[in-house]
């Protein structure tokens, strides 16, 4: 925001003119440039929610699946599938409400009315009617209604914290002369008045240049709203997988029905074959498991002080490969302490603190002034006769007090500013500058203080000061941050500290927490634009960073293939939070807009919590992958044998009751066993940096191999048990025994029986299989026949072989 191009073409010769627009000119310009509607709210919120929900393919899939189950009479399955729609729609409604609340919060900072010069008269109009070229008059305490050039006014100061995050007032100056340098000459920020910021002192005349979405505030809002409906890679991968399985299931059902008809089995057999296969093949578990796991993730992250505002962020937080973290309040405690007081010759410590206290306002909330007051203790501060406040352009604060019959002016501020005003020789100034740099390199924020007698309290001197000494402040690093950084390195996560501090200060803090293995690579914020994404991937600290540079950093890191998590606490951070894969807002000190646009809010503003959330997210993501691994391994033999056995001319392998039995085994296993797996002690590394595939090629190969093995075992077991007598109940019992025992062995191989629930479900699956098959009357109800000892031995061998192949395959694929 240091310089911004001014579009002279839309202002013409009006820039420094005293007149405003006529009503006809304003109407013409409104036709050309549109309304000054910075935040547009189009249409009904309910219809927006309906349209957003209707775009979700998961909703349509669940509706179609539920309708199919209802059509074939499986009402329990139909209700189960349709019930899964409720949390998905609820999640959309929650996100939509939060987005609307965020928009209203942003709107509340804007001017609703403006004083504008029209037809030679000052009149109050709705701010939405302003157009480029208008002359607006802004009084103290009012917000600027649009972006424009200040052309008149004295003693102007503005509060731009909504855009910059800086709490200090910013001095504004009228543009003295028409700029040169083309049709869009760059104009310094001191001449701009910006929509959403507030004039504190003076009366400003503003020549409007940008309105509506073209204002800087409008750009922030548009950036925050852009891409809000996009899907995460996990959602896209699951949607793609589900689509493939649905197409394959439909194709198999049609083929099976046609073949059974041609084999002479009749319409009833053909329909029963197709419906049974459809029930087995339709992958309704996948969206259900995703919904359940995301809900579990929200709960687990909340216990780690990370409030998830979008459940799908549970996926992205686990896939994070790079963290761009603020320093103050996240890596450090955010509470300055005055740790070094270095008086000049002839000045004692108490006198230096007294002078610094005179040039401070501890009741104003500034942490530096608060720290000085805390260190000065009960020392009395004379009444200030005049105060010249700190601003970013002045980089100092000065106050005048009476000491006896004389007036004394005391100042404190940036070392280079105070030294430049000091009546000292070049060698002395160089020595003090070196002492200040040494303190900065140790991680301190360093200020200088000076004083001089003055004749009048009404004029601020800018030279002739005597140096009183240096004040060095320290913002201590939070407990556990160094360990968290080490965990990041162990887990393959690149942590980047982004700060507005001096590079020397930032480097010292980075060394203390272990960034860059103790040798951090530091760049200045203005270097971000020029560096390539690959170079930025090796940077550890960005110092003197502006919000726009933070956004550029996030975008370039994403372009390099990183999955980026970024922290922020102000309106100015909204674009970076939205651009990141995971936007993390500060719950204690963050603004409402930052919290609403972010997908995760830290309740304790601690970097250690971010790393803990990533560890939890990675384990949850791994648990989800294990659950899907299980479902695919079990569905392959189920679906393939349900199709191939009838296609080969044999009697139907499964009846609907058998499919329901198997589904009742697989559903709780997939949704309960794997979500309960605890996180590992260390932060596990990702197999692929930022990969969007749910499984690697090796993992797909393992799934296919185990599925093919079980398919062969079930098929051979069915045909062998069928025998020449055509003992269909015995053959079905053999196939179901293999599948149910395989469910237990695959669960054991994937979950490693680490939890009580995994042991109970695995043991319960095996016990239920034995009970239903070996109890004669239960077997008869299920159209089965009890198995012999050699049958069970073959089923156990098949299940054990599948588990062995799965275990070996997973070890190989992990290498």
Number of H helices, E strands in the chain: 29, 25
Closest by alpha carbon to 156, among 114, 197, 184, 100? Answer: 197
Pairing of strands 541-543, 384-388: unpaired
Report the pLDDT value the prediction gives residue 320, as an integer from 0 to 100: 86
Confidence label for 805 from pLDDT (cuts 50, 70 and 90)? very high
Report the pLDDT value the prediction gives residue 692, as an integer from 0 to 100: 46
Work out the percent of the chain whose per-residue pLDDT is above 90. 26
Read off the pLDDT of residues 458-517 as tens digits, 9 standing for 90 and up: 888 889 999 999 999 888 888 888 888 888 888 888 999 988 777 888 888 899 899 988
Classify burial at 323, counting beta carbons within 10 Å of its beta carbon; exposed 0-12, middle 13-18, buried 19 or more.
Answer: buried
Kindly give, in sequence order, each residue whose CB lies less than 8 Å from that of residue 43, ignoring residues fewer than 6 positions away. Answer: none
Report the pLDDT value the prediction gives residue 659, as an integer from 0 to 100: 75
Confidence label for 227 from pLDDT (cuts 50, 70 and 90)? very low
| Number of other CB atoms surrounding residue 788 within 10 Å | 12
Helix/strand/coil percentages in the chain, nearest 5: 55, 15, 30
Read off the pLDDT of residues 167-187 as tens digits, 9 standing for 90 and up: 567 889 999 888 876 677 878
Using alpha carbons only, give the angle 356, 362, 368 rounded to the nearest 5 degrees: 60
CATH 2.70.150.10 is the classification of domain 3-39+110-225 = yes
Read off the pLDDT of residues 583-601 as tens digits, 9 standing for 90 and up: 888 766 666 667 677 778 7
CATH of 306-333+478-605, one of 3.40.50.300, 3.30.70.1350, 3.40.50.1000, 3.30.1490.20: 3.40.50.1000
Mean pLDDT of 189-215: 89
3-class DSSP state for residue 326?
strand
3-class DSSP state for residue 401?
strand
Q: What is the mean pLDDT of the chain?
A: 80
Q: 233-303+613-678+694-814 has which CATH code?
A: 1.20.1110.10
Pairing of strands 564-568, 322-326: parallel
Report the pLDDT value the prediction gives residue 223, as an integer from 0 to 100: 44
Q: Tokens 């260190």 belong to which residue?
A: 375
Kindly give, in sequence order, each residue whose CB lies less than 8 Å from that of residue 164, ignoring residues fewer than 6 positions away. Answer: 1, 546, 547, 570, 572
Residue 805 β-bridge partners: none
More confident residue, 679 or 254: 254
Mean pLDDT of 92-112: 54
Q: What is the largest CA-CA distance in the chain?
A: 122
Which stretch of 49-53, 391-395, 670-674 has the lowest confidence by average pLDDT? 49-53
Mean pLDDT of 256-274: 68
Report the pLDDT value the prediction gives residue 101, as an integer from 0 to 100: 46
Report the pLDDT value the prediction gives residue 84, as an integer from 0 to 100: 54
Mean pLDDT of 285-295: 71
Highest mean pLDDT among 164-168, 390-394, 524-528, 713-717: 713-717
Kindly give, in sequence order, each residue whose CB lies less than 8 Å from that of residue 57, ignoring residues fewer than 6 positions away. Answer: 239, 242, 243
Mean pLDDT of 780-795: 90
| Count of alpha carbons within 13 angstroms of residue 534, beta-carbon side | 0
Read off the pLDDT of residues 755-777 as tens digits, 9 standing for 90 and up: 888 899 899 999 999 999 999 99
Classify burial at 171, counting beta carbons within 10 Å of its beta carbon; exposed 0-12, middle 13-18, buried 19 or more.
Answer: middle
Mean pLDDT of 784-808: 93
Which stretch of 189-198, 203-212, 271-280 has the lowest confidence by average pLDDT? 271-280
| Number of other CB atoms surrounding residue 593 within 10 Å | 27
Report the pLDDT value the prediction gives residue 691, as an integer from 0 to 100: 47
CATH 3.40.1110.10 is the classification of domain 337-472 = yes
| DSSP type of residue 229 | T
| Count of alpha carbons within 13 angstroms of residue 376, beta-carbon side | 22
Task: List, in sequence order, the alpha helices (H) in 108-226.
Answer: 161-164, 216-225
Pairing of strands 170-172, 322-326: unpaired
pLDDT above 70 (res 78) = no
Q: How far apart are CA 377 and CA 371, in angstroms?
A: 10
Read off the pLDDT of residues 526-583 as tens digits, 9 standing for 90 and up: 899 888 888 888 899 998 887 788 889 999 999 888 889 998 776 667 788 888 888 8
Kindly give, in sequence order, each residue whose CB lies less than 8 Å from that of residue 147, ignoring residues fewer than 6 positions away. Answer: 192, 193, 194, 195, 208, 209, 210, 211, 214, 215, 216, 217
Read off the pLDDT of residues 134-160 as tens digits, 9 standing for 90 and up: 999 999 988 899 999 999 998 898 887
DSSP sequence for 237-257: HHHHHHHHHHHHHHHHHHHHH
Model pTM score? 0.60
pLDDT above 50 (res 416) = yes
CA 708 to chain centre: 40
Q: How far apart are CA 124 and CA 692, in angstroms?
A: 54
Q: How far apart are CA 181 and CA 187, in angstroms?
A: 10
Read off the pLDDT of residues 713-753 as tens digits, 9 standing for 90 and up: 999 999 999 877 778 899 999 999 999 999 999 999 998 88
Contact between 380 and 358 under an 8 Å Cβ cutoff? The reply is no
pLDDT above 90 (res 267) = no
Report the pLDDT value the prediction gives residue 137, as an integer from 0 to 100: 94
């Amino acid at each position: 925001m240091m310089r911004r191009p001014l579009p002279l073409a839309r202002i013409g010769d009006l820039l420094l003119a005293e007149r405003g627009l006529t009503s006809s000119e304003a109407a013409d310009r409104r036709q050309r440039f549109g309304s000054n509607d910075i935040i547009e709210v189009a249409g009904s919120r309910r219809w927006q929610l309906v349209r957003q929900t209707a775009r979700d393919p998961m909703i349509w899939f669940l509706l179609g699946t539920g309708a199919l189950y209802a059509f074939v009479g499986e009402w329990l399955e139909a209700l189960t599938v349709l019930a899964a729609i409720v949390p998905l729609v609820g999640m959309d409604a929650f996100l939509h409400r939060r987005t609307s609340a965020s928009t209203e919060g942003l709107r509340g900072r804007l001017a609703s009315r403006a004083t504008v010069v029209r037809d030679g008269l000052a009149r109050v109009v709705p701010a939405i009617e302003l157009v480029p070229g208008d002359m607006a008059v802004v009084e103290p305490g009012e917000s600027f209604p649009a972006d424009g050039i200040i052309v008149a006014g004295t003693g102007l100061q503005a509060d731009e914290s909504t855009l910059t995050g800086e709490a200090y007032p910013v001095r504004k100056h009228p543009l003295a002369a028409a700029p040169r340098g083309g049709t869009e000459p760059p104009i310094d920020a001191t001449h701009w008045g910006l929509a959403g910021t507030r004039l504190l002192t003076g009366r400003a005349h503003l020549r409007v240049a940008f309105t509506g979405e073209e204002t800087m505030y409008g750009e922030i809002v548009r950036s925050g709203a852009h891409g809000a409906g996009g899907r995460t890679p996990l959602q896209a991968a699951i949607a793609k997988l589900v689509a493939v399985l649905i197409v394959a299931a439909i194709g198999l059902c049609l083929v099976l029905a046609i073949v059974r008809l041609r084999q002479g089995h009749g319409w009833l057999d053909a329909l029963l074959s197709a419906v049974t296969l459809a029930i087995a093949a339709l992958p309704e578990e996948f969206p259900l498991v995703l919904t359940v796991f995301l809900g579990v993730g929200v709960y687990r992250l909340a216990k780690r002080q990370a409030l998830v505002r979008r459940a799908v962020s549970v996926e992205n937080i686990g896939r994070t490969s790079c963290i761009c973290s603020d320093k103050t309040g996240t890596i450090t405690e955010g509470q300055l302490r005055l740790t070094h007081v270095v008086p000049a010759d002839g000045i004692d410590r108490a006198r230096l603190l007294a002078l610094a206290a005179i040039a401070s306002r501890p009741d104003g909330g500034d942490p530096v002034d608060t720290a000085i007051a805390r260190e000065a203790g009960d020392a009395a501060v004379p009444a200030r006769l005049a105060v010249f406040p700190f601003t970013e352009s002045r980089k100092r604060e000065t106050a005048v007090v009476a000491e006896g019959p004389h007036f004394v002016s005391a100042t404190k501020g940036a070392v280079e500013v105070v030294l430049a005003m000091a009546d000292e020789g070049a060698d002395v100034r160089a020595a003090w500058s070196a002492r200040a740099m040494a303190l900065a390199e140790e991680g301190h924020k360093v200020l200088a203080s000076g004083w001089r007698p003055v004749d009048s309290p009404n004029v601020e001197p800018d030279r002739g000061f005597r140096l009183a000494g240096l004040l060095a402040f320290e913002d201590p690093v939070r407990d556990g941050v160094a360990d968290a950084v080490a965990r990041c390195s162990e887990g393959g996560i690149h942590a980047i500290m982004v700060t507005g501090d001096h590079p020397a200060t930032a480097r010292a803090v980075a060394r203390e927490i272990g960034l860059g293995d103790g040798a951090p690579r530091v760049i200045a914020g203005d270097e971000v634009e020029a560096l390539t994404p690959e170079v930025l991937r090796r940077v550890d600290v960005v110092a003197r960073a502006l919000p726009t540079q933070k956004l550029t950093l996030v975008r370039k890191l994403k372009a390099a293939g990183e999955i980026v998590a970024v922290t922020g606490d102000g309106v100015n951070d909204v674009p970076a939070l939205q651009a990141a894969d995971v936007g993390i807002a500060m719950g204690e000190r963050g603004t409402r807009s930052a919290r609403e646009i972010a997908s995760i809010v830290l309740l304790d503003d601690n970097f250690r919590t971010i790393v803990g959330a990533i560890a939890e997210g990675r384990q949850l993501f791994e648990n989800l992958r294990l659950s899907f691994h299980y479902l695919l391994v079990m569905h392959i033999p189920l679906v393939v044998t349900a199709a191939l056995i009838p296609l080969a001319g044999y009697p139907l392998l499964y009846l609907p009751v058998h499919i329901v039995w198997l589904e009742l085994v697989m559903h709780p296993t997939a949704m309960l066993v794997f979500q309960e797996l605890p996180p590992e002690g260390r932060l596990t590394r990702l197999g692929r940096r930022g990969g969007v595939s749910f499984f690697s090629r090796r993992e797909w190969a393992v799934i296919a191999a185990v599925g093919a093995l079980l398919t062969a075992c079930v098929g051979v077991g069915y045909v062998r048990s069928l025998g020449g007598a055509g003992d269909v109940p015995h053959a079905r019992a053999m196939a179901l025994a293999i599948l149910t025992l395989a469910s237990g062995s695959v669960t054991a191989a994937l979950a490693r029986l680490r939890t009580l629930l995994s042991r109970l479900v695995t043991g319960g699956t095996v016990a239920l299989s034995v009970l239903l098959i070996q109890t004669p009357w239960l077997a008869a109800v299920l159209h089965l026949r009890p198995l012999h000892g050699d049958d069970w031995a073959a089923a156990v061998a098949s299940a054990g072989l599948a588990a062995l192949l799965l275990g070996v395959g997973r070890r190989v694929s992990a290498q």
